[in-house]
Amino acid sequence: MTSLPLPAQLVVPKAQSLVAIEVKSKRVRETSTGMAEFSKLFNPTRKLLVGSDGIPLSKFLAKPMPYWVRE
């Protein structure tokens, strides 16, 4: 895991890809500036929004991490 000066909760490097996972507890009315900034800096292969208007937390936690970070 890597510590960043951005509001990222977790960074999990995987081989040659990077998946950005943002967890939200409230409804998202606009694009997250944290995810946009992270994307500009690191160009993730995939971006996931968990909670609120994205993937339900229960579904995210029910699947193993390789399911979400696949290319």
pLDDT (tens digit per residue) in 47-56: 998 987 889 9
Confidence at residue 12, expressed as pLDDT on a 0 to 100 scale: 61
pLDDT, tens digit, 9 for 90 and up, residues 17-27: 788 888 887 76
CA distance 71 to 15: 10
Q: Residue 71: what residue type?
A: E
Domains of the chain, residue spans: 13-69
Q: Is the model more confident about 59 or about 16?
A: 59
CA distance 15 to 46: 14
* pLDDT beyond 60 at 9: no
Confidence at residue 58, expressed as pLDDT on a 0 to 100 scale: 93
